[in-house]
Structure 1
Amino acid sequence: MKGTAGRHSNRSEQLFVLSNGIGVAMLGYIALSALLTFVWEGWAANRTEAVQAAVSLGRYAFSLLVPFALVGWALRDRIPPVAHQKPVGQKGFVAAAFAAGFGTACFGNLLAWLMQLTAAKEGVELTTAAAIESGDPLAWIITFVGYSLLAALVEEVVFRGVVLRMLRPWGDLWAVWCSAALFALCHASPLQFLPALLTGALLGILTVITDGIGLAVAVHTCYNALALLLNGLLEGQERVWPVLVIWGILMAAGLAAVPQLLSAWNRCRIRWDERTKDFYVAPFMLLAAAFMIMRILSGVVR
């Protein structure tokens, strides 16, 4: 009994340290993003649209990747070992993963659109990432490719490659939802929070099933590209039924893919450790979460 208590105490301490580390990384992202916005975007203010787009993307990628990479490296020896999953060889699994990604993208777009309409009736404006608006073809290409591919790659490395990997020893399903919640918080938008939470959960599930981030990066890239294209179709359109038809078709495809994803998920060894309370009381995690929530609320304008 004493040995068991000591083991649980040690794991609780490890989780407390990792939670504080993730909180420090989130605070580092906020601080570095603000600093680079002041320095880089001030320099780029009088440059071409293409340069401004590249600087904005570079600032986001650098400020998110560096703090989490440093924390992940510094705490690498604090992460308990976890049994790796056998890669899923189920026929059609990759197609099901992409179908689920497209369906989630459309559901997220639909949810954000409905939230925006509902808020507008109450005299509340919810700010979000708009469709790409640029008369410069090069700036359009940089923004589209950057937010589709670069953002997906950086976010998967950070939230699935670092955060999910840190938390998996305390339970796969718990780690999936925790990493998804942090992913959603870092989007800092009231409209993007729920879509990002659902997307983060899907990408976390794909990471656990395949025991790697490769498929998650590919699905995330397609998700971002589709979301940008759908936003572009919806922006300024009085007739929304063509977009609604696309949403309906792709959401139906996503629902059709659920049984195959669940089959693959059930083949994995899913663990849930109830001893995770130390994650929620780590001071740096609480501070970082408070800052992130304040950033989200700042997107609500009356």
Structure 2
Amino acid sequence: MHKPTLHRVYSPSQGEDRALSRIGWALLAYLLTGILVQAGVLLAARVWLPWLARDPLFQWLLSVCSSYGVSFPVFVCVLGRGGDDPERQGEVLSPGRLGETYCIALAVLYGGSAVGAILRGLLGTVTGWWGTDPVESILSYPLPLSLLLTGALAPIFEELMFRGLILERLRRYGDGFAVAASALLFGMVHGNLFQMPYACAVGVVLGWVAVHTGRLWQCILLHAGINLLSSGVFPLAERLGIEAPVYAGIWLLVGIGVWRLIARRGELGQLVRTMGSPGWGRLLRSPGMLAFSVWTVLSCLFYLIA
């Protein structure tokens, strides 16, 4: 990882506290709107057009339209206007640095996945609840639809939300805080222990890219490349019967990512040290964030006992 540009921390006002609270309310509105729209339309289809409700294309369109056609505009409206800070742009990552960052993202992705597996194993042993992985429902779509969703639509809209709108509202409290807090929220919005740990970990890398470059398209590109592993590369490898060399190649990239993380441990440590900020107390105690946190806990329990 490369040294981020650190900006001064602004002194927050009461109005900024309300702006932090709106982040939590906006994320909660985003999730609830999507659930209500999907549930309502699906229920109506099952009553009047049961054949349509079972159609994979209809299910995919319903998921996409409710999430990005309805919920995303609701999120933007609830979030409200951002700050008046000027846009800050840094150095564009070269192809080599972009490839290095991709390897680092893969390394933290699999590290986060391991943490999630350990957490689920411990909870399953104690409670008997092993949970269901929501990623399986995405991969159940026809391959072209799955690729379009995970390789284009999700990266574009999620980066706009978290590394665009949310991160920029958090930067007044410091860039390190903005990277960490936006990554935490990115993990929480997934609402299950299968995805939360690795989403948080990858969110730190993507947040660093956003702060370092100021260019969202590089975050989108990295996000798409990560998603396409599970939705495109692995299914295609299984169809062609070349799983072993593909998996070996992925683990080679992960090894490179671990090596680069170790090589840049000083810069990583500096980034971690800048994550402390008074913004944490203001964000986590805000009414909107408390409501969003309660919903996250309930969502995790649902996926464990479902």
Same fold, TM-score > 0.5, yes or no: yes
Report Cα offsets for 1:54-106 as digits up to 9, x if no partner. 2212222235422332244x332xx2526724324667211212222333334
Task: Check if 1:210 corresponds to 2:216.
Answer: no
Identity of aligned residues (%): 20
Compute the displacement of 1:51 (Å): 2.1
Compute the displacement of 1:34 (Å): 2.3
229 and 142 in structure 1: CA distance in 2 versus 1, 3 angstrom threshold: closer
- Comparing 272-281 with 26-35, greater Cα deviation is found at 272-281
Unaligned runs of 5+ in 2: 1-9
Q: Match of 1:294, as an amino acid?
A: L
Q: Secondary structure at the match of 1:186?
A: helix
Compute the displacement of 1:271 (Å): 6.0
Q: Which residue is equivalent to 1:53?
A: 60
43 and 224 in structure 1: CA distance in 2 versus 1, 3 angstrom threshold: farther
**Distance in structure 2 (CA, Å) of the matches to 1:105 and 1:266:** 19
Q: What number of residue pairs does the alignment pair up?
A: 282
Q: Which residue is equivalent to 2:101?
A: 97
**Distance in structure 2 (CA, Å) of the matches to 1:192 and 1:222:** 17
Q: Secondary structure at the match of 1:101?
A: helix
Which of 68, 75, 81 does residue 75 from structure 1 map onto?
81
Q: Secondary structure at the match of 2:206?
A: helix
**Distance in structure 2 (CA, Å) of the matches to 1:86 and 1:133:** 40
Q: Match of 1:126, as an amino acid?
A: G
Q: Which residue is equivalent to 1:196?
A: 199
Q: Which residue is equivalent to 2:24?
A: 23
Q: Match of 1:87, as an amino acid?
A: E
TM-score under structure 2 normalisation?
0.78
Does the 8 Å contact 1:101/1:202 carry over to 2? yes
Equivalent positions of 1:17-166 (< 5 A) are 17-43=18-44, 45=46, 46-47=51-52, 48-72=55-79, 74-76=80-82, 79-81=83-85, 84-88=88-92, 92-113=96-117, 115-116=119-120, 121=125, 123-131=128-136, 132-133=139-140, 139-166=142-169
Unaligned runs of 5+ in 1: 1-6
**Distance in structure 2 (CA, Å) of the matches to 1:252 and 1:25:** 38
Q: Which residue is equivalent to 2:13?
A: 12
Q: Secondary structure at the match of 2:13?
A: helix
Does the 8 Å contact 1:149/1:221 carry over to 2? yes
- Comparing 219-228 with 48-57, greater Cα deviation is found at 48-57
Q: Secondary structure at the match of 2:102?
A: helix
Q: Match of 1:13, as an amino acid?
A: Q
Q: Which residue is equivalent to 2:259?
A: 256
**Distance in structure 1 (CA, Å) of the matches to 2:130 and 2:84:** 45
**Distance in structure 2 (CA, Å) of the matches to 1:203 and 1:39:** 34
Does the 8 Å contact 1:23/1:284 carry over to 2? yes
142 and 211 in structure 1: CA distance in 2 versus 1, 3 angstrom threshold: same
Q: Secondary structure at the match of 1:86?
A: coil
**Distance in structure 1 (CA, Å) of the matches to 2:35 and 2:58:** 19
**Distance in structure 1 (CA, Å) of the matches to 2:203 and 2:99:** 18
Report Cα offsets for 1:214-263 as digits up to 9, x if no partner. 1110110111111335775999xxxx988874553232022233368779
Report Cα offsets for 1:21-52 as digits up to 9, x if no partner. 11220221132112211233335553221221
Q: Match of 2:303, as an amino acid?
A: G
Task: Check if 1:286 corresponds to 2:290.
Answer: yes
185 and 64 in structure 1: CA distance in 2 versus 1, 3 angstrom threshold: farther
106 and 247 in structure 1: CA distance in 2 versus 1, 3 angstrom threshold: farther
**Distance in structure 2 (CA, Å) of the matches to 1:128 and 1:34:** 17
- Comparing 165-174 with 103-112, greater Cα deviation is found at 103-112
